[in-house]
Each structure stands twice: as C-alpha cells, then as structure tokens.
C-alpha cells in the first residue's frame, strides 16, 4: 500500500473514531439498523429487530428473547424512531428495521 493510501486510511479512521466517540459522549444514543428474512412479514420484522438488538447490546437482546418483549422494545434502552421497510425477498419476506436507542 502506498504512503498516500496509508495516510488517507489513517485520517479516515481517526475521523470515524472521533465521530463515534462524540455521539456516545453527547447523549449515549445510537442509531442502528438490521435486516431479517422469513416466510412471513411478521417473522422478517422479528428477525430484523433481533439484528438491531444484537448490534446494540447482546445483554438487551438476551433479555428481549427471554422476556417475551414486543418488537420495537429493548430492555435497558429508551427506543425511538422505530421504522420498518419490508418487501418480497429472502425466504418470502425481507424487512429492514431502523431505530434510535438511548441508555
């Protein structure tokens, strides 16, 4: 890899880290997305929401699975801006879930 490419990659990584730390420090909120597929749209939404929780906090995901929580909730988090985009695909239905989760 050339010196110029290494410099650009290092600068990009530093910028990404500083942006990530700024968002965590400012409000302890994260925007997450996940994708799921299933034979039904409800199943695909469930899978997509699981992916959001797994990308956020494995402990919250485990509590969600054990506690019979509703889609769009996350134990230990205030959840907002929940939205799903679903269509045909995957195993029949495919959904993408998006949400903001705050500690």
Which CATH number does 28-102 carry?
3.30.1660
**Contact partners, residue 61, CB within 8 Å, separation at least 6:** 50, 53, 54
Q: Where are the domains of the chain?
A: 28-102
- Write out pLDDT tens, residues 62-81: 999 998 889 999 999 999 99
| Share above pLDDT 70 across residues of the chain, in percent, rounded to a whole number | 74
- CA–CA dist 70, 35 (Å, integer): 17
What is the pLDDT, as a whole number, of residue 9?
35
pLDDT one-digit tens code per residue, 37-53: 999 999 999 999 999 99
Closest by CA to 34, choosing from 65, 56, 59, 63, is 56
Q: Give the residue ranges of DSSP H helices in the chain.
A: 3-27, 41-56, 58-67
């Amino acid at each position: 890899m050339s010196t110029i490419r290494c410099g650009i990659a290092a600068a990009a990584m530093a910028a990404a880290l500083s942006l990530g730390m700024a968002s965590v420090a400012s409000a302890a909120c994260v925007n997450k997305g996940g994708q799921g597929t299933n034979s039904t749209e409800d199943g695909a939404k469930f899978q997509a929401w699981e992916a959001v929780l797994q990308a956020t906090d494995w402990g919250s995901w485990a509590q969600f699975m054990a506690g019979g929580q509703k889609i769009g909730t996350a134990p230990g988090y205030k959840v907002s801006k929940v939205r799903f985009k679903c269509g045909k695909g995957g195993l029949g239905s495919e959904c993408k879930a998006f949400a903001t989760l705050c500690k």
